[in-house]
Amino acid sequence: AQKVTQTQTSISVVEKTTVTMDCVYETRDSSYFLFWYKQTASGEIVFLIRQDSYKKENATVGHYSLNFQKPKSSIGLIITATQIEDSAVYFCAMSREDTNAYKVIFGKGTHLHVLP
């Protein structure tokens, strides 16, 4: 069964430091796609960054980057120079193929608290 697991339920860091959020996944697909989303305190969910499994280079967008370790089925999200407004819940997700479409399954989320 395909699965996405985030074991860290909550992380607290001091502003301007670097944080890594862990995510492991299970899949039998040879090609798959991994995503990270952010849910703010208002409830809004926004897409942050994506990693295509066939790409060896780690994706980077702004102060977000990924640590993709394919042999370990791991896709960590790294946030550098954290800011107070980075406080949110972060969801790891994986696209999987189904009968008529590709669907995304989500992990349970990691709540990041950035402290002044």
Partner 1 sequence: EAAVTQSPRSKVAVTGGKVTLSCHQTNNHDYMYWYRQDTGHGLRLIHYSYVADSTEKGDIPDGYKASRPSQENFSLILELASLSQTAVYFCASSGTAPNSDYTFGSGTRLLVI
Residues 27-46 touching partner 1, rule: CB under 8 A, are 31, 33, 35, 37, 43-46
Please tell me whether residue 12 adopts helix, strand or coil conformation: strand
Whichever of 32 and 79 has its CB closer to partner 1, that residue is 32
Smallest gap from Cβ 111 to partner 1, in A, equals 11
Run of H or E residues at 29: none
**111 interacts with partner 1 by CB under 8 A:** no
**102 interacts with partner 1 by CB under 8 A:** yes
Whole-Å CA distances, 50 to 13, 67, 76: 24, 11, 11
Count of alpha carbons within 13 angstroms of residue 49, beta-carbon side: 18
Instruction: Tell me which amino acid residue 47 is.
Output: F
**90 interacts with partner 1 by CB under 8 A:** no
**105 interacts with partner 1 by CB under 8 A:** yes
Query: Total number of residues binding partner 1 (CB under 8 A)?
Result: 26
